[in-house]
Structure formats: C-alpha cells, structure tokens
Structure 1
C-alpha cells in the first residue's frame, strides 16, 4: 500500500465497503457470508484476525505496547424474520429476529433461506392487503407481527404446496437492504445499523495501514454477530481488554440530542452510564480535532458494550454513534456523520492509553483516578 505521513479516512472506500456490506444478507443467526467478506477485507488490509466458533471476528492491530489493550466493536448481524407457521392459504406467519415493528416489514422484499440450499423470493404483506376486498379494514387492522404474512413468489396456495416446495418452520427471512446513495451525501437503506459502523471501522483500519502509523497500544477490532438479539460482545474479548468502544446508531428523533451530521457520544443507555473517563476523553478529542459532535442519552437502547459487561468483563466502555433517522425501520444516515465517527475513532487509537494502571486487573488506591483528575485534559494519565 502507498505510504503517507498522516492517516486519512478515505471517504470513497468507506462508501464502497458500506454498499458491499448492505448487499450481503446477514440477519442474526445467518451471518457466515458477511463474516467471510469482512475477513477477506481484513486480509486485503494485511490485518491478522481470528474467528470464534460461531464467527465473531477479532482483528489485531499491534501497538508500541501490548497493554492495556483497547478494542472497538461493531456488529455484522441485522434484523430479520423467521417462519413461525405454514398457513392454510399458502402464506407464512412470521416472527421477528431482533426488535423491530411489523409496520416497517409491510411491503418489504425478502429472501427465504431454507434447508438444502432452498431460496425463495417474496413480499411481506398485511393479512388484509387489498382495499378492493377489505375496504377500510386495510387501515384499521392492528400493527403486529400476527397481522402480516409472507407471500412467496411461488405456486403456493395451501400448506401442502409449501411443504412440497420444501419450506419449514424456522426458515430464515432476510430483508432486502435496498440501499440508495444520493449525491448530497444522504444514504437510505435498511440495516445501516450497524453496517455503517462496520464500514467506518474498516475505513479507520485502512487509514492506519496505508499511512504505516504505529499506534501507542494494541487495538483489537471486533465484529460481532448477535448484537441484535442481545448477545453481542460477550464472547470475543477474552479478558485482556481495558477500554472498549462500541459503535452503533444514535437516534435522530424528537426528544433526542443526536447529531445527524456529526458523531454522538452516548452518556447512558438502558444498561446504565458509560465510563466517565473514557467518554470524556473522547469528548476532549472531538474538541481538539474540531469534530462535530453532541451528547445524548438513550432510554430504550443497548449495545455490544452492555453484553461485554454482563459477561463479567471489568472494562471501561463508551458508545459512539452515527446519526440515524428511523432506526430499525426505513433508515437514513449522512456520510458526514460517518466521516466524523471515523475521524474520532482514528484520533482515539492514536492517543495514549487512558490509564496505565488499567493494564492490571487489581491495583492500589494510590493510582485510582478521580472524576476531577486534571490529567484527563491531556488525554491520558499514568
């Protein structure tokens, strides 16, 4: 790769990777294909990595020191659905994979993945879909997964037809992303959560590799495969990480303070507050580098960081977000937000470890940091 003096985020690379990720189906429980694609990308970048049994990826960028380790995590899995029942009318009852509203499922084009390589295309529809038949009932039927069904583009008009086709209860449904990249920087697609975060993280890795930058301490890039169902980063840390930054979406909505064109730092989500010191270190980097940013608090939200803590890891955690409108629905992000996110991550991995004492699991009170520690203004402490 071409060597540069200063690492820079390649906007075109970020967008190219994002498009390739969005076109790769990866609902929770069916992530093998995207794991292979991200692994191939890491190989192209010359970054060593290893996989857990189920396919979570741990990539390693070596630093000048090996401890206290850092990690940045983004998730590869997305929302989806699963076949609950084969219906007498030849349609399929569904349940969601992950938490999302059936309101956003209506009209979605999907692929059903069954046994022995079976794939079928179809559309998720309200059970009462035709105004010519149901009149005003199309507007009064409840919004719930029991009130939608999957219509396969096959000659299926009975449960027996579905059985002959090879459809089974438990088949996985991948929802088309349908990405649209606009010249003004807006990106519309399903599953930007969290493939936009993955693309930003890979762009950071590429910037480091192309510039030949040696970071001060080891940093692990983690790509998890079950965040949407609550497991996330619980099985990929191996106890050697002191600082974990989770990448996910910040909700652009009434009552929120997320920055739609910058990066947002979450102070707390439904699992509780994030680490005081690590979060304020990131805020300081934003101010120093002139990165547009905001703070927010999320009531109905959790990330990979929560799973990591619940698994028993004693680590400092922070959550950094790109601004996402209509999360878990018809999502939209702006490339400026992704670039701001990437710039913050790039600044972080080049900064010294927050506290050298964090290299040890236990330590004395003498070097324990306080909330008003003035050394935090310098981006690190001993």
Structure 2
C-alpha cells in the first residue's frame, strides 16, 4: 500500500502550480507556438541553450560524464483540440477533432476559437445540437458525433455571414478550457495533464543539472515534442550516439490496469508492442533500490513518442513511464505523490550509468 501524503508541502504546491500554469496555455497539436515561446523564455532566464527544430520542437542537449553513449528523453506539450470544420447557417460551428478522443469527452466544455486571419480569440461552448430537453425529444438517444455536436460562440451571430465577419473561418484552431484546480488533498485536476506534467518534470531536471545539483551520467538530449497526439512528435532528431530513448508520458488508469494516481507507472507494452525489457527492468530496479512507488502496466490503446521513434527505425532501447492520470483525454486528475514518484525516477535514471 502506497503511503499517501494528503497535506501539500511548499515544494508540492510549487510543482503543481507550474503544471497548472502550463495547462492554461492553449496548445492543440498544430498550434503550439505560444507554449513553446513560454518554455524558451524560461530557458533564456536560466541561460540554458536550446535549439528550435524545423517542425517546432525544442531540443536541449546537456553534456554528461559519458559523452560517447547518450540518452534521449522526451515529453510533449501538444494537446488534444479541434478545428473549425464548417460554419452552419445559424452561426454555430461544426468541429473536426485533433487527437485520439471521442466527442462525449468534450461535451459541455468551454473552448476558444483562434482566428488565423484576425489573430483574435473567441470564447464558446461545445454542445449537442439537441441539448435542450424542452425542445428535442431525442436528447437521450442522439449520437455524439460530428453531425450533432457544435460550438455555440459567445457573440451575437445569427448566420454564417455574421461568423465570417468576425474572422472565423474553416481551419481555425479550437482549444479546450483546462479548468485546472489544485486541491488541499494534493490532487491536480485539469485537461491536458497529458503531457504537461511530464514537461514540467523534465524542465525541473534540466534546471537541476545546469545548476550542478543533479549529476548526469550520460550526455542527454531533452526533447520537448509538439506533435505527439497525432503520432510523430519525437521520431526525428535522434543522434547516432543515442542508445536509450525514454518517453515520459502519462500512465493510463481503468479496468484491468495496475496503475494509480499515487505511483509512477512503467509501461511494459502498449498498442505498438512491448517496450525494451532490459530498460524496463532497469527502471523497476531503480524504483526498488530508491523506494520509489511504482506500478508496471500495459496500455492497450496507447502510443507514445517512443513507439513512434521505433516505427521510424530508431535503433535504440525504448522505454516509457509517467505519472498515473485518471480519465485520460477527458477531465484528467493525478496526485502529487505520483508526480513526485515520476520526478524521482527521472532524476535517478539520469544519474545512473548504463550497463
């Protein structure tokens, strides 16, 4: 049984506030410039060198004690989102989904429409067309799909022409309001904890390494990915010297899962197949040696940047671990104990030499 600390200490509060800050920056896949700029500003403040890749990812390479055998760690800032699919005659919007989720996961969600032509942002709500029980007889039975789901814009519009005058057009990005909250009992609940928890933890590790507080066993490339939710975030920019590739991403919770919100979840297999057994065993050994609470799990309908790298032909040992997150790709939640366990495993792994 994991010992759960329900009282947030100052370190935990600061960590969760950093996660909350990132969740509140809109970053649907394909529209991540603002959040990348936020991260670059943080790196600039610490005088940490980085490279912005052509497809918009961020690479931070830090020298370790062994420079010949290298590592690659990635986490992604891109999130689920949508695009304007069509403007309906009554001024409502049809939407097209970005990323792997279902329409029911966003029903009732506040959202923002990002106009590419005007640069303005408009608020709205994602609703079923047949929402009012006082009007529609099929409220209970109507399918949540692209035909029936729509966006109600918070602006007086009565026609497609009214919407177009605002500068809203087909192809404009739609982001979902995270509604992030931190509870006194140590939870953070929000959209987009996948994978902004991991991004914050990699940034914490980078800052500790640069400050001289965390010894780095091997030269390590930290890649902040921006296309993971559509399958190709971290499958490029992998140096020939890299032998181990770790995706720090969420652990999925549900029926038949061992993962929970209070441990770090180590993936044995996902939809792409098994992860490298030797690297998985190393992660388990480190957890047991350092008393880091962990669970080993299988995610049946899941893929990561590590699995994308393998499909792209990377000749590396690949692994995956992360905080256990409930209700993935909907209104997610995790606990500070899981966040801290993931942080501890990242740091322990980075200071441990390869065999």
Q: What TM-score comes out, normalization by structure 2 length?
A: 0.94
| 1:222-276 superposed Cα distances (whole Å, 9 cap, x missing partner) | 1100000111101232433211110111111111111320101100111111111
| Corresponding position of 1:64 | 65
Moved more, 311-320 or 160-169: 160-169
Q: Work out the CA distance in 2 between the residues paired with 1:240 and 1:147.
A: 51
1:130-169 Cα shifts (integer Å, max 9, x gaps):
111114x222111223221001111211112112222111
| Local SS of the residue matching 2:103 | coil
Residue 302 of structure 1 pairs with residue 303 of structure 2: yes
**Structure 1 Cα separation of the partners of residues 86 and 184 of structure 2:** 43
Q: What is the aligned partner in structure 2 of residue 130 from structure 1?
A: 132
**Conserved 8 A contact 2:110-2:123:** yes
The number of residues matched between the two structures is: 345
- Would you say the 8 A contact 2:260–2:325 is kept in 1? no
Superposition deviation, residue 12 in structure 1: 4.1
Between the aligned partners of 2:150 and 2:263, the Cα distance in structure 1 is: 38
Q: State the Cα deviation string for residues 57-101 of structure 1 (Å, max 9, x = none).
A: 111121112121111110010000111111111100001110111
* Corresponding residue SS for 1:256: coil
What RMSD, in angstroms, separates the aligned Cα atoms of the two structures? 1.5
Aligned to 1:5: none
2:84 maps to 83
Query: Which structure is higher in helix share?
Result: 1
**d(CA) in 2 for partners of 1:194 and 1:278?**
21
User: Per-residue deviation at 1:105?
Assistant: 1.2
* TM-score, with length taken from structure 1: 0.87
The answer for unaligned runs of 5 or more in structure 1 is 1-8, 354-379
Counterpart position of 1:242: 243
Q: Structure 1 residue 287 and structure 2 residue 258: aligned? A: no
Match of residue 191 from structure 1: 192
Paired residues for 1:33-44 under 5 Å: 33-44=34-45
Contact 1:86 1:93 in 2 (8 A): yes
CA contact (8 A) 2:91 2:157 kept: yes
Answering whether residue 47 of structure 2 is matched by residue 49 of structure 1, we say: no
| Partner residue in 2 for 1:349 | 350
Higher Cα radius of gyration? 1
Where in structure 2 are the equivalents of 1:86-105 lying within 5 Å? 86-105=87-106
1:231 equivalent to 2:232? Answer yes
Q: Give the gaps of 5 or more residues in structure 2.
A: 1-9
1:336-375 CA-to-partner distances (Å, cap 9, x unmatched) read 101100100100000012xxxxxxxxxxxxxxxxxxxxxx
- Separation in 2, partners of 1:249, 1:153: 33
